[in-house]
Structure 1
Amino acid sequence: MSTSSTSPILSAPPAPGDISGHSPAPPGADTLHVRLRGDIDHFSAAPLRAILTAAAAHGRTRLVLDCADVSFCDSALLGALALWRGGGRTAEIRDAPPPVRRLLALERQLGAPA
C-alpha cells in the first residue's frame, strides 16, 4: 500500500462514493488519513474497507476520517468503522455533515460503540 502526502491511496473518477486517503506521516507511523466524498453505501465502501484492512496490516492504529464531502451514508460506513475498531484501533471523524452525524447519533442511541 502506497501512502504519501501527494498522491491518494485510491484514485478513481467520482462515483457514488469517492474515497481517497493519504497519510502525511512516514511509513510505519500510526495515523492514516482518509477523505470520503459522495454517497457511502455497501458498494462504494468496499475500497474503504480494503484501505483500512491494509493499513491495519501495516501497523496503523489511528484513523482520521474526513467526511466533509459525504452527501449520504448508510450502515456500510458503520461496518467499516467497526472493522477498523475491532483491533483496538481508534478513529476520529472530522467535519461530519448532517448525514454522518445522524448515522453516528443513531449508533450511539442503539448502544453501539461510537
Structure 2
Amino acid sequence: MAMLFQTKINKIGAFASAFTEEKMLILFGDGAPEELKDYCLSIDVQPVEDSFKEGDELLVDGKSYKVTAVGDAVTNNLERLGHITLKFDGSQFAELPGTLYLEEKELPEVFVGDRIQIKR
C-alpha cells in the first residue's frame, strides 16, 4: 500500500465530540481560527502525496475505514490548512467539497498522539 498522507493528533478541542451524532470529526492544522479550535482535532499540516479516491483507506490509530466519496477541495484543504471533515456515513456522493466520506462504522475513539493515515 502507498502512503498518501500521514499526520498525528496534537490536541482535541473541548467540543470536538459535538458532531458525534452527525458521524463527523473535523481536522484542522494548528492555524485554526480561535472560534473553531474547540470543535476540531488539531493536527500537523503535512504534504499529500496524491489525490484521494474512493476505495482508499483511512486509518485512525490503526482502525481502518474505506473512503466512499471525496469532496473536490479535500486534497487542497488538507495540504494547505490541515482542514477537512471526516464523515463516517457511507455516502457514495460527495455533497460537501471539504469532506472525506468514509464507510459507515462507529466513529473511532481518538486520543492525543493518535496517527491519522490515508493509504492506497
Shared fold per TM-score greater than 0.5: no
TM-score range, shorter chain: under 0.3
Structure number with the higher strand fraction is 2
Structure number with the higher helix fraction is 1
Calculate the TM-score normalised by the size of structure 2.
Answer: 0.25
Calculate the TM-score normalised by the size of structure 1.
Answer: 0.25
